[in-house]
Chain A
Amino acid sequence: MSTAGATPAPRDEGAKLGFRLTLPAQILVLFISAFPLLMQLYISVTDWSPLSGVGWWNAWEMWNSFANYTDLAADTRFWSALQRTAIVMLVCVPAEFLLGLALAMLFADDFLGKRVFYSILLMPMMVVPAVAGYMFFMLFQSGGPVNDILARIVGAPVTIAWLSDPTLALIAVMIADIWQWTPLMFLILLAGLVGVPEDQMKAATLLGANAWQRFTTIVLPKMKTIIIIALAIRVIENFKIFDTLYIMTGGGPGVATETISVYIYKVTTQDLIWGYVAAIALAILIVLSIVAVYAMKRMAKAREVPA
């Protein structure tokens, strides 16, 4: 600003520097949101596909007057994939939460070997998800170790074909997800549990409160925000479930483990109807954006709580 005079005020210098420092991030965000979003919107009202022989900018030649969106409403494979994603979420997230909470309670005070156990129990969440998928692919082979353990328990050979049975395959991929992400719940909930004041717990004990009463009246209320954050993170990430699942079953047998990400992946790479994919993706983006605003408000509130 030339009108500000020869020596700009320090505040002005700060604002300028702040603008320059945030510029690269702003450009990257714009580069990945604004233009792609418009492109997605444009393609979603056409029959365009990479094999259609025209550039995407000429997709208007294949305008199909919102047929993709009406198709979507009637696409049973899409809705059952969405339903399956919801089932996986409704089983995995509560299971991870309860197991993580139970583990966190065991780790609330000091005991011999705590740090070693803690580090080992966190390991699954650091394993590359695709590799975790391969681990469980091996474990659930009909001649694999899971059946071997079962055989030792029942004392007779067990040859369950886990990944070829529609129901068992879904259970297997959920077990893999629970194995990998319970540590994340454990980690976050333990951090919250440590923040519960010790003296309140002691006072409650002196007043004759039993463990369950202490848990429901002191621990749970103190951890409310942390629990919401932990659940929100897992719900968001679980909704995207792809890597482990795709490596284990490829969405099969048939479509038995086809979640929303796997469905979109298949339509993108096998059916190649990108106009339709763009419509699905946009519909999902709009719903998730609303969720994002809500989650953001929650997180902003949480940050005011001293942790």
Chain B
Amino acid sequence: MKRSVPFEIFRYAAILAAMAVTLVPILWMVSMAFKPIGEWSATGADLTWWPKQPTLANFEFVFGHSTNDLIVALDHTAVKPILSSLLSAVFGTAIAMSAGTAAAYGLSRFGSGQNLPLALIQLRLFPPMAVMIPVMIMWAFLNLNDTWWGLALIYGIVTLPFAFWLMKTFFDDMPREIEEAALVEGCSRLRVFTRITLPMMRAPLASAALFVFILNWSDYLIALLLTTREWVTIPVYMASLSSSMTGQLYGAKAALGLIAAVPPVIMGIAIQRHLVRGLTFGALKQ
């Protein structure tokens, strides 16, 4: 439909306003990450929207090579939390994707596991906080507390609903002629799944895996409850970077926040096409 000129002006004005609101919090953190300590909490007329003397000192500080004019040195650097976030999110994604993809195929093609769709949505519905007591007891019993593999296991279970539902809708949409032809050729059903279906589904699998990875990477609450020191993740580590002695380490926290925020934003833009499907459990396919 042809729109009038006043409407176009209104549209751009409204969108630019929305863009400003969207970007100000992000830009403030990016700017803070490159501010020297003197500009961290400058107020009033001294408040700087962009660092006057941009510096990498905050990044050097969290990685441990400098104390950034602060009296404190960190008792451990950001290296291990980053490793912990990576390992737990990657292996959690691997667990969710393998169990979820296999189950989705089993349900989509052979009608097995009819209870799974509802059970998994219920799993997603519950606030993690309401099931964490037994999980904390079990994890302590299994010696999984404060380990990245313990986190990976719970992440794999928590994001299983998304992996399952995404893959189920992808399998449901996939034409079956090729699979049927391979069956007639004498392939076993398992072989059809592993040698024909899965390679054909490479792109959807990658999108679903990225989607699940973002969710795992974004966790804060579960890591807060299940890790204490050795394997804390980036958000937990970031939140701990303040003390009564030194106050808020604004710049250092912003630097860590930036490190945590960049991967999911890039991945999210890469899989934009599938976001709606993933977020609505496949109820809506864009």
CA A179 – CA B19 in complex, angstroms? 11
The reply to whether the CB of B29 lies closer than 8 angstroms to some CB of chain A is yes
Binds A, one of B63-71, B117-125, B200-208: B117-125
Given A109-B3, A129-B220, A288:B125 Cβ within 8 A: yes
Given A130-B220, A243-B220, A303-B283, A29:B120 Cβ within 8 A: yes
Pairwise interchain contact A128-B129, C-beta atoms closer than 8 A: no
CA A162 – CA B100 in complex, angstroms? 44
The reply to whether the CB of B178 lies closer than 8 angstroms to some CB of chain A is no
Of B8, B11, B133, chain A has the most CB atoms within 10 Å of the CB of: B133
Contact code string B97-112 (vs A, CB < 8 Å = 1, else 0): 0111011011101111
Of B103, B105, B267, B272, chain A has the most CB atoms within 10 Å of the CB of: B103
Q: Spell out B's residues near A (CB within 8 Å).
A: 1, 3, 8, 11, 14-15, 18-19, 21-26, 28-29, 32, 41-44, 47, 49, 95, 98-100, 102-103, 105-107, 109-113, 116-138, 156-157, 160, 164, 183, 188-190, 193, 214, 217-218, 220-221, 224-225, 234-235, 238-239, 250, 253-254, 257, 260-261, 264-265, 267-269, 272, 275-276, 279-286
When A and B form their complex, what is the total count of cross-chain residue pairs whose Cβ atoms lie within 8 Å? 301
Pairwise interchain contact A111-B8, C-beta atoms closer than 8 A: yes
Pairwise interchain contact A247-B25, C-beta atoms closer than 8 A: no
CA A121 – CA B160 in complex, angstroms? 28
Pairwise interchain contact B238-A123, C-beta atoms closer than 8 A: no
Taking a contact as CB atoms closer than 8 A, the residue among A40, A138, A194, A288 that contacts B133 in the complex is: A40
A199 to chain B, nearest CB (A): 11
Pairwise interchain contact A25-B103, C-beta atoms closer than 8 A: yes
The reply to whether the CB of A292 lies closer than 8 angstroms to some CB of chain B is yes
Binds B, one of A68-76, A89-97, A260-268: A260-268
Given A22-B102, A202-B1, A268-B225, A135:B164 Cβ within 8 A: no
CA A120 – CA B18 in complex, angstroms? 10
For residue B11, which residues in chain A have a CB less than 8 angstroms away from its CB?
Answer: 106, 111
Given A21-B105, A25-B113, A128:B218 Cβ within 8 A: yes
For residue A260, which residues in chain B have a CB less than 8 angstroms away from its CB?
Answer: 127, 129
Taking a contact as CB atoms closer than 8 A, the residue among B117, B130, B183 that contacts A296 in the complex is: B117
For residue B257, which residues in chain A have a CB less than 8 angstroms away from its CB?
Answer: 128, 131, 134-135
CA A201 – CA B285 in complex, angstroms? 22
Q: Spell out A's residues near B (CB within 8 Å).
A: 10, 13-15, 17-22, 24-26, 28-29, 31-33, 35-37, 39-40, 43, 56, 102-103, 106, 109, 111, 117, 119-132, 134-136, 138-139, 141-145, 148, 157, 179, 183-184, 187-188, 191-192, 194, 198, 201-202, 205, 226, 229-230, 233, 236, 239-240, 242-243, 246-247, 260-261, 264-265, 268-269, 274, 277-278, 280-282, 284-285, 288-289, 291-293, 295-296, 299, 302-303, 307
CA A277 – CA B130 in complex, angstroms? 8
For residue B19, which residues in chain A have a CB less than 8 angstroms away from its CB?
Answer: 117, 120-121
Pairwise interchain contact B190-A128, C-beta atoms closer than 8 A: no
Q: Which 6 A-B pairs have the closest CB atoms?
A: A143-B43, A18-B110, A18-B112, A36-B134, A21-B106, A22-B113
Pairwise interchain contact B121-A295, C-beta atoms closer than 8 A: yes
Pairwise interchain contact A187-B276, C-beta atoms closer than 8 A: yes
- 21 CB contacts below 8 A, A to B, read A10-B189, A18-B111, A25-B99, A28-B157, A40-B133, A102-B14, A117-B19, A122-B269, A126-B214, A132-B25, A134-B238, A136-B25, A187-B279, A229-B284, A236-B124, A242-B127, A265-B221, A265-B225, A284-B126, A299-B280, A307-B286
Given A18-B107, A43-B133, A135-B25, A188:B126 Cβ within 8 A: no
Taking a contact as CB atoms closer than 8 A, the residue among A126, A240, A274 that contacts B129 in the complex is: A240
CA A142 – CA B267 in complex, angstroms? 34
Pairwise interchain contact A135-B28, C-beta atoms closer than 8 A: yes
Taking a contact as CB atoms closer than 8 A, the residue among B116, B133, B183, B235 that contacts A130 in the complex is: B235
Taking a contact as CB atoms closer than 8 A, the residue among B95, B116, B127, B134 that contacts A261 in the complex is: B127
